[in-house]
Amino acid sequence: MLVKIRSLLNLEDSTSEEVLSFYLDLITDKVLNFCHRDDIPKGLENIIIQMVIEEFKALNKQDIKSIKRGDISVEFAASVVKRDITETYKKQLYNFRKLKTL
């Protein structure tokens, strides 16, 4: 998925690779938890790619003060409004959601 994301964002250098990889892992975990899944079907993969691209573009619109590489940490110059990316995509994610068994 990372190769496809880099291609869609027209990124040729590897400077953003760690941040993209972090967001891909983070959003994939959120989506799998929301959908109660251990696998990623083809259609769900495309939704995750859209979500990562949206987050990456939102990140690039902010003034970044510093980026740490070990355990990846991004610090912004101004306060940032926190939002849950899964809220925007809930209707699409419901199509892939499994019933949770007790």
pLDDT tens digits along 68-85: 777 777 666 554 455 676
Inside any domain, residue 29 = yes
For the whole model, what pTM was predicted? 0.72
Inside any domain, residue 43 = yes
Inside any domain, residue 101 = no
Inside any domain, residue 70 = yes
Tell me the residue range of the domain where 42 lies. Answer: 2-94
Q: What is the pLDDT of residue 55?
A: 86
Inside any domain, residue 25 = yes
Instruction: Calculate what percentage of the chain has a pLDDT beyond 70.
Output: 78
Inside any domain, residue 99 = no
Please give the span between the terminal C-alpha atoms of the chain, in angstroms, as a whole number.
32
Inside any domain, residue 46 = yes
Q: How many domains does the chain have?
A: 1
Higher pLDDT, 15 or 32: 32
What would the pLDDT profile of 11-26 be if each residue is shown by its tens digit? 877 777 888 898 899 9
Inside any domain, residue 100 = no
Q: What is the pLDDT of residue 71?
A: 72
